[in-house]
C-alpha cells in the first residue's frame, strides 16, 4: 500500500508509477493486492490528469479515499477476522501489531513507495530489485530499472474541487449543528466554580493500584466514537484501573449501599446524592496520551480531587485546566493509610497558596482518623483556574468584559 | 495566494530582532530549531536562555490544525471560551473517520452517511469561529497542511502525532492533545519543555532505488523508537539540500516513530520550488527576504558537534533501500538482507 499522510506526494506517486509502468510494459502482473491512498485531492486530481493513477489501476490497484484509511486501522480488510498469517508492505509510518487491519498475525513492513511497488509486483518480501530478476507472462527473466519521477508536476498542480470550506466572515449568526438526541456529540456546560469552602465528606471512589495510564482512565478503542459526547464517554471512567482492595478492574465499593459495582455507576450514585469523591493513585498517574477526556470525565462526574504518589505532568496540567485538584502525597507511605471506606476532608483551600501543602483528614470506618499532608504544584494562575472551576471559565469571563 | 499571508509576513517582520536578541543571550551561533523556538516566545524577545531538556517555556504558535477525531472535544471546549473567533489561524481536516474498503467513491459516501453529524458539527463550528474546514475526501491533514499552510520558520501545533510532517517546509510543527489546541485557539500560551537538539548531517546524494524514506528508516534503526524523545531533530548538509521538499516531509513525518518532539530542515531552494508550485509565491518571496534566519547560522553546520546534543552522519550515496519491521518501525533491514531476515520470520510470500 502506498500513501497515507506520508509518501503520498506527487513525486512519490510518480516514482512508484514508473515501477508499475515497467511491470505492465515488461509483461509482469502484480502478485499481491495493491492499494493507493493519495494524500490530498490536489495530488489525486493531478496524478489522475497525468495518467499516474491509470498506471496503478492497470495493475489492479484499488484507489482509496484521500484519507488516513488503513494507516490508522480504518480498513475493513476482507478476511482479517480469520487472523491468518500474512505480510503487508506499506509506505505508511507505523507498523505495530494490529494497527492496519486488526489482525495480530499481519506482519507489517514500512518501506519507500518504490520498494512497495516492486514488492507488490514480485509478491516476494525478499525481492531485491537492485539485483533480482522476475519471470514475466512470456516466461522471460526481466529486471526492473530504477524508479524515475518528477519532483513536481511538469504541467503544475491542478484541482477541480479541493474540498475546502472557508469560514463565514462574521460567524456570529451561524448556528452550531448538534442534535440534542445525538449519542456522539454533546455541547458542554461550564463546570461549576469552587464553592469557597474546604471540601469535606468526600468518599473514596477508588484507590488505584499500580500503573494507571490515560488508557486505564479513559479507554480508547470502541469508546472513541463518543469522544465528542462527554456524558457518554464518561461511562469508561477508570474502568481499566485496578482497585487496590480487591485487585479487580471496574469493581469498587459504593459506600452508600456497601455493594460493589462499576466505577462510573458508583460515581454517578455519589453525584446523584450530591456527594463529592476522591480518586487515589500510585506512581506516574496519567502517563500516556495527552487525551483531555481523562481529566474531563472525573470532573464531569463530580470527582473533586485526585491524590497520587506522582503524576505524569501533562495529565496533572490537564486536571488543573479543568478546575480539578491534583495532589500528591507529601509522604508516599501515606498511600497505605487510605482505607476502602474512608471519608476524606481537604483543608486549607481558603488559603490555597503556591508552595503550601494542603491537609487531608482521613475518617476511617472504625471511627479513627489520620491526618496527612498533600503537596501541589499550582501556581497563582492555576489556583485561579481551580477557584473559577476551570481555565476556560476565566477566558470566558474576560471575553465578556 | 497563500492562506494567512499577513500572519506569515508579521512573523517574518519580527524575525531579525528576535533572533538577534536570542543570539546575544545564548552568546553563540544558533541552530534553526533554536531560532524558531526563540522567535516564538509568548513574552516576545528573549530575556533569558533556557536549558534544553529542563526548562518549561511558554510559546506562541502561529497556527493550529486539528483532525476530525481529536477536533471534536477540542472545539466543544473552545466554544466555552466565548471568543468570536479562534485566536490564531486554525483548520479542521476530515480524514480519520473514513473507513477504507472498496475504493474512494463508495467508501467516502458511506463515511458521509455514518459520520454525517460529526462532519456537520465540525463544519458549523469552523464556519462560526473563523476556522478553515477541509471536508471528507479533501485529503489527509498533514499533506493538506504542507500544501497550503506550512511555512519556513513557523511554529504550529496539531492534534495528531504526525503533525511533524510540516517540518519538510522548515517549520517546527508539533503534535499535541486537544486541550493544547483549545488553549492556543482560546488565546492562552502553549507550554513545552525546551527540547534537546539532535543534528543529522546528510552527505552525498540519493540515487537509483534509494529515496528519502530510506533516510528516516535508517535514522529509526539508529535511534530506535525512544531515541528522539524530548528532542528536535534538525537535518542539514548537501544531502538535505539536494532532496525535494515533500521528501523532507517524509523524513520529518516518521520522526514521530522515534519519539522526537519534531524534526525540521533549513529553508532552501527545494522549499522555494514547492511553495511556488503550490501557488504560494508570496510566501516564497517573503521567506527569501529573511532567508538567513530560516536556517542555522553557518558555524553550526560547519561544526555541528559543538551545537547539538547528539550528531548523526549519513552518507546518502551509500544508503541502501530498506524495509523496517515487522511490528516496530525501528527494526531496520536493507533490501539486500531481507530474504535472509524474512526467512527467519517465515513471512516471505505475501
Residues 178-207 of chain B whose Cβ lies under 8 A from any Cβ of chain A: 178-180, 182-183, 186-188, 191, 207
Cβ within 8 Å, pair B350-A32: yes
- Cα dihedral value B114, B118, B124, B130, nearest 10: -130
Q: Would you call B21 exposed, middle or buried from its count of C-beta atoms within 10 A (0-12, 13-18, 19+)?
A: middle
Its sign, for the CA torsion B77, B82, B86, B92, is positive
Cβ within 8 Å, pair B132-A165: yes
Residues 16-35 of chain B whose Cβ lies under 8 A from any Cβ of chain A: none
Residue B324: pLDDT above 50? yes
Q: Does B125 touch chain A (CB under 8 A)?
A: yes
B176, B178, B209 ranked by CB distance to A147: nearest: B209
Q: Is A100 or B146 the better-scoring residue by pLDDT?
A: B146
Q: Is A263 or B327 the better-scoring residue by pLDDT?
A: A263
Whether A192 contacts A324, CB under 8 Å: no
Residue A270: pLDDT above 60? yes
Q: How close is the nearest chain B Cα to the Cα of A18, in Å?
A: 12
The C-alpha atoms of residue A100 and residue A109 are separated, in whole angstroms, by: 11
The C-alpha atoms of residue B217 and residue A260 are separated, in whole angstroms, by: 50
Question: Would you state the pLDDT for residue B348?
Answer: 53
Residue B282: pLDDT above 50? yes
Cβ within 8 Å, pair A165-B135: yes
- Sole residue written with cell 506516574: A284
Give the DSSP letter of residue A337: G
Cβ within 8 Å, pair A114-B120: no
**Which of B288, B265, B264 is CA-nearest to residue B275?**
B288
What are the chain B neighbours of A86 within 8 Å (beta carbons)? 347, 350
Question: Would you state the pLDDT for residue B42?
Answer: 98
pLDDT, tens only, B37-50: 999 999 999 999 99
Within 13 A of A277's CA, how many CA atoms are on the CB side?
31
User: Residue B37, SS3?
Assistant: helix
Q: Does B90 touch chain A (CB under 8 A)?
A: no
Q: Does A292 touch chain B (CB under 8 A)?
A: yes
User: Residue B129, SS3?
Assistant: coil
Rounded mean pLDDT of A48-55?
96
Question: Would you state the pLDDT for residue B347?
Answer: 61
Query: Grid coordinates in use for B194?
Result: 525546551
pLDDT, tens only, B241-265: 999 999 999 999 999 999 999 999 9
**Which of B262, B230, B248, B258 is CA-nearest to residue B61?**
B262
Residues 204-263 of chain B whose Cβ lies under 8 A from any Cβ of chain A: 207-214, 217, 244, 246-247, 249-250, 253-254, 256-257
Q: How close is the nearest chain A Cα to the Cα of B144, in Å?
A: 6
Q: For B5-196+270-298, which CATH class?
A: alpha beta
A39, A291, A293 ranked by CB distance to B140: nearest: A39
Cβ within 8 Å, pair B69-A295: no
Whether B301 contacts B23, CB under 8 Å: no
Whether B134 contacts B105, CB under 8 Å: no
What are the chain A neighbours of B138 within 8 Å (beta carbons)? 40-41, 66, 162-164
Residue A216: pLDDT above 90? yes
**pLDDT grade for A401, boundaries at 50, 70 and 90:** confident
Whether B232 contacts B30, CB under 8 Å: no
Q: Does A137 touch chain B (CB under 8 A)?
A: no
Give me chain B's average pLDDT, please: 96
The C-alpha atoms of residue B138 and residue B148 are separated, in whole angstroms, by: 12
Instruction: Please give the angle made by the CA atoms of A391, A396 and A400, to the nearest 5 degrees.
Output: 150
Query: Grid coordinates in use for B231?
Result: 528532542
- Sole residue written with cell 503556591: A354
Cβ within 8 Å, pair B162-A5: yes
What are the chain B neighbours of A40 within 8 Å (beta carbons)? 138-140, 143-144, 147
Instruction: Please give the angle made by the CA atoms of B256, B258 and B261, to the nearest 5 degrees.
Output: 55
Query: Grid coordinates in use for B326?
Result: 515487522
What are the chain B neighbours of A321 within 8 Å (beta carbons)? 179, 183
Task: Please name the residues in contact with A194: beta carbons below 8 A apart, sequence gap of 6 or more.
Answer: A323, A349, A386, A387, A388, A389
B120 φ, ψ (degrees, to nearest 5): -65, -40
Its sign, for the CA torsion B167, B171, B174, B175, is negative
Its sign, for the CA torsion A376, A382, A383, A388, is negative
Q: Could you write out the DSSP letters of every residue in A28-96?
A: ---SS--EEE-SBHHHHHHHHHTTHHHHHHHTT-EE--SS-GGGGT-B--TTGGG---EEEEESSS---
**Which of B138, B135, B158, B132 is CA-nearest to residue B252?**
B158
pLDDT, tens only, A158-177: 999 999 999 999 999 999 98
Long-range contacts of A267-272 (CB under 8 A, 24+ apart): A267/A205, A267/A237, A267/A298, A267/A301, A267/A302, A267/A303, A268/A301, A270/A203, A270/A205, A270/A302, A271/A301, A271/A302
What are the chain B neighbours of A162 within 8 Å (beta carbons)? 134, 138
Q: Does A85 touch chain B (CB under 8 A)?
A: yes
Beta-sheet strand order (sheet of A35-37)? A2-3, A35-37, A62-63
Give the DSSP letter of residue B128: H
pLDDT, tens only, B189-247: 999 999 999 999 999 999 999 999 999 999 999 999 989 999 999 999 999 999 999 99
What are the chain A neighbours of B73 within 8 Å (beta carbons)? 227-228, 230, 292-293, 296
Q: Which residues pair with A358 in a beta bridge?
A: A374
Q: How close is the nearest chain B Cα to the Cα of A245, in Å?
A: 33
Taking CB atoms and an 8 Å cut-off, how many pairs form between chains A and B? Answer: 370
Query: Which residue in chain B is spatially nearest to A96 when comparing CA positions?
Result: B327
Cβ within 8 Å, pair B98-A129: no
The C-alpha atoms of residue A99 and residue B101 are separated, in whole angstroms, by: 16
Query: Which residue in chain B is spatially nearest to A395 when comparing CA positions?
Result: B81
B145 φ, ψ (degrees, to nearest 5): -65, -45
Q: How close is the nearest chain B Cα to the Cα of A383, in Å?
A: 16
List the domain boundaries for chain B.
Answer: 5-196+270-298
Which CATH architecture group holds A2-142?
A: 2-Layer Sandwich (3.30)
Residues 180-239 of chain A whose Cβ lies under 8 A from any Cβ of chain B: 182, 184-188, 190, 224, 227-228, 230
Question: Would you state the pLDDT for residue B120?
Answer: 97
Q: Does A108 touch chain B (CB under 8 A)?
A: yes
pLDDT, tens only, B63-72: 999 999 999 9
What are the chain A neighbours of B84 within 8 Å (beta carbons)? 171-172
Q: What is the pTM of this model?
A: 0.93
Q: How close is the nearest chain B Cα to the Cα of A91, in Å?
A: 8
Cβ within 8 Å, pair B96-A396: no
Q: Does A401 touch chain B (CB under 8 A)?
A: no
Give the DSSP letter of residue B312: E
B191 φ, ψ (degrees, to nearest 5): -100, 135
pLDDT, tens only, A227-255: 999 999 999 999 999 999 999 999 999 99
The C-alpha atoms of residue A137 and residue A143 are separated, in whole angstroms, by: 14
Omega prior to B342 cis, within 30 of 0: no
Question: Would you state the pLDDT for residue B343?
Answer: 85
pLDDT, tens only, A356-384: 999 999 999 999 999 999 999 999 999 99
Q: Does A331 touch chain B (CB under 8 A)?
A: no
Residue B345: pLDDT above 80? no
The C-alpha atoms of residue A355 and residue A389 are separated, in whole angstroms, by: 20
- Cα dihedral value B284, B157, B224, B234, nearest 10: 30
3-state SS of B163-227?
A: HHHHHHHCCEEEECCHHHHHHHHHCCCEEEECCEEEEEEEECCCCCCCCHHHHHHHHHHHHCCCC
Whether B277 contacts B247, CB under 8 Å: no
Residue A392: pLDDT above 70? yes
B104, B123, B270 ranked by CB distance to A63: nearest: B104
Cβ within 8 Å, pair B72-A227: yes
Choose the weakest-confidence range: A33-42, B13-22, B337-346.
B337-346
Rounded mean pLDDT of B299-322?
98
Rounded mean pLDDT of B146-175?
97
A359 φ, ψ (degrees, to nearest 5): -105, 135
Question: Would you state the pLDDT for residue B135?
Answer: 97
Whether A312 contacts A285, CB under 8 Å: yes
Cβ within 8 Å, pair A395-B82: yes
- Sole residue written with cell 516531509: B249
**pLDDT grade for A388, boundaries at 50, 70 and 90:** very high
Q: Which residues pair with A89 in a beta bridge?
A: A109
Q: Which CATH superfamily is domain A199-400 in?
A: Aconitase, domain 4 (3.20.19.10)
Residue B350: pLDDT above 60? no
List the domain boundaries for chain A.
Answer: 2-142, 199-400
What is the bridge-based pairing of β-strands A199-207 and A277-281? parallel
Amino acid at each position: 500500500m502506498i500513501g497515507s499522510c506520508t509518501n503520498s506526494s506527487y513525486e512519490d506517486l510518480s516514482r512508484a508509477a514508473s515501477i508499475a509502468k515497467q511491470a505492465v510494459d515488461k509483461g509482469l502482473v502484480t502478485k499481491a493486492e495493491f492499494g493507493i491512498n493519495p494524500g490530498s485531492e490536489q495530488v489525486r486530481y493531478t496524478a489522475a490528469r497525468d495518467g499516474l493513477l491509470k498506471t496503478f489501476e492497470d495493475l489492479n490497484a484499488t484507489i482509496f479515499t484521500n484519507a488516513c484509511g488503513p494507516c490508522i486501522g480504518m480498513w475493513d480488510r476482507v478476511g482479517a477476522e480469520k487472523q491468518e498469517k500474512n505480510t503487508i508492505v506499506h509506505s505508511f509510518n507505523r507498523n505495530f501489531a494490529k494497527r492496519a487491519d486488526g489482525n495480530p498475525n499481519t506482519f507489517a513492513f514500512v518501506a519507500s513507495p518504490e520498494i512497495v511497488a516492486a514488492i507488490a509486483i514480485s509478491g516476494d518480501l525478499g525481492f531485491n530489485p537492485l539485483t533480482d530478476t522476475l519471470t514475466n507472462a512470456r516466461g522471460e527473466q526481466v529486471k526492473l530499472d530504477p524508479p524515475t519521477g518528477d519532483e513536481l508536476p511538469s504541467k503544475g498542480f491542478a484541482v477541480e474541487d479541493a474540498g475546502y470550506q472557508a469560514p463565514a466572515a462574521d460567524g456570529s449568526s451561524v448556528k452550531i449543528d448538534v442534535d440534542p438526541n445525538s449519542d456522539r456529540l454533546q455541547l458542554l456546560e461550564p463546570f461549576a466554580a469552587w464553592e469557597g469552602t474546604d471540601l469535606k465528606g468526600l468518599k473514596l471512589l477508588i484507590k488505584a493500584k499500580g500503573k494507571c495510564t490515560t488508557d486505564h482512565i479513559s479507554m480508547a478503542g470502541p469508546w472513541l466514537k463518543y469522544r465528542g459526547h462527554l456524558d457518554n464517554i464518561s461511562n469508561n471512567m477508570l474502568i481499566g484501573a485496578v482497585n487496590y482492595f480487591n485487585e479487580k478492574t471496574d469493581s469498587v465499593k459504593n459506600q452508600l449501599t456497601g455493594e460493589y459495582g462499576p466505577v462510573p455507576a458508583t460515581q454517578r450514585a455519589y453525584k446523584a446524592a450530591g456527594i463529592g469523591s476522591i480518586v487515589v493513585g500510585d506512581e506516574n498517574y496519567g502517563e500516556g496520551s495527552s487525551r483531555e477526556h481523562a481529566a474531563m470525565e472525573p470532573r464531569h462526574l463530580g470527582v473533586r480531587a485526585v491524590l497520587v504518589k506522582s503524576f505524569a505532568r501533562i495529565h496533572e496540567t490537564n486536571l488543573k485546566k479543568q478546575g480539578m485538584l491534583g495532589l500528591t502525597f507529601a509522604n508516599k507511605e501515606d498511600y497505605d493509610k487510605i482505607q476502602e471506606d474512608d471519608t476524606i476532608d481537604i483543608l486549607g483551600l481558603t488559603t490555597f497558596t503556591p508552595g503550601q501543602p494542603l491537609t487531608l483528614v482521613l475518617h476511617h470506618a472504625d471511627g479513627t482518623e489520620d491526618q496527612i499532608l498533600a503537596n501541589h504544584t499550582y501556581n497563582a494562575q492555576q489556583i485561579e483556574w481551580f477557584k473559577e472551576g476551570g481555565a476556560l471559565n476565566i477566558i470566558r469571563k474576560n471575553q465578556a468584559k | 495566494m497563500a492562506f494567512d499571508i499577513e500572519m506569515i509576513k508579521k512573523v517574518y517582520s519580527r524575525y531579525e530582532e528576535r533572533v538577534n536578541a536570542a543570539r546575544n543571550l545564548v552568546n553563540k551561533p544558533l541552530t534553526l530549531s533554536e531560532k524558531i523556538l526563540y522567535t516564538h516566545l509568548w513574552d516576545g524577545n528573549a530575556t533569558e536562555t533556557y536549558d534544553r531538556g529542563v526548562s518549561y517555556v511558554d510559546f506562541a504558535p502561529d497556527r493550529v490544525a486539528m483532525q476530525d477525531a481529536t477536533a471534536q472535544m477540542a472545539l466543544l471546549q473552545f466554544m466555552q471560551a466565548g471568543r468570536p473567533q479562534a485566536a490564531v489561524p486554525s483548520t479542521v481536516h476530515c480524514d480519520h473517520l473514513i473507513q477504507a474498503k472498496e475504493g474512494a467513491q463508495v467508501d467516502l459516501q458511506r463515511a458521509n452517511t455514518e459520520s454525517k453529524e460529526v462532519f456537520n458539527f465540525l463544519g458549523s463550528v469552523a464556519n462560526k469561529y473563523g476556522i478553515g474546514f477541509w471536508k471528507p475526501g479533501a485529503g489527509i491533514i498533514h499533506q493538506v497542511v504542507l500544501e497550503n499552510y506550512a511555512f519556513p520558520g513557523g511554529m504550529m501545533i496539531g492534534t495528531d502525532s504526525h503533525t511533524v510532517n510540516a517540518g519538510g517546509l522548515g517549520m517546527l510543527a508539533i503534535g499535541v492533545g486537544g486541550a493544547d489546541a483549545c488553549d492556543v485557539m482560546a488565546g492562552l500560551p502553549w507550554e513545552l519543555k525546551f527540547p534537546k537538539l539532535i543534528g543529522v548531517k546528510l552527505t552525498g546524494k540519493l540515487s537509483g532505488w534509494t529515496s528519502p524514506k530510506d533516510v528516516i528508516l535508517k535514522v529509526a534503526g539508529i535511534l530506535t523508537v525512544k531515541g528522539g524523545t524530548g528532542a528536535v531533530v534538525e537535518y542539514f548538509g548537501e544531502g538535505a539540500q539536494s532532496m525535494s521538499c515533500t521528501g523532507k516531509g517524509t523524513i520529518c513525518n516518521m520522526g514521530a516513530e522515534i519519539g522526537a518532539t519534531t524534526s525540521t530542515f533549513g529553508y532552501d531552494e527545494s522549499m522555494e520550488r514547492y511553495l511556488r508550485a503550490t501557488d504560494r509565491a508570496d510566501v516564497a518571496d517573503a521567506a527569501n527576504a529573511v532567508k538567513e534566519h530560516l536556517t542555522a547560522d553557518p558555524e553550526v553546520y560547519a561544526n555541528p558537534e559543538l551545537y547539538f546534543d547528539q550528531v548523526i552522519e549519513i552518507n546518502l550515496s551509500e544508503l541502501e533501500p530498506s524495509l523496517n519491521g515487522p511490528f516496530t518501525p525501528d527494526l531496520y533491514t536493507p533490501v539486500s538482507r531481507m530474504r535472509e531476515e524474512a526467512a527467519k520470520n517465515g513471512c516471505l510470500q505475501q
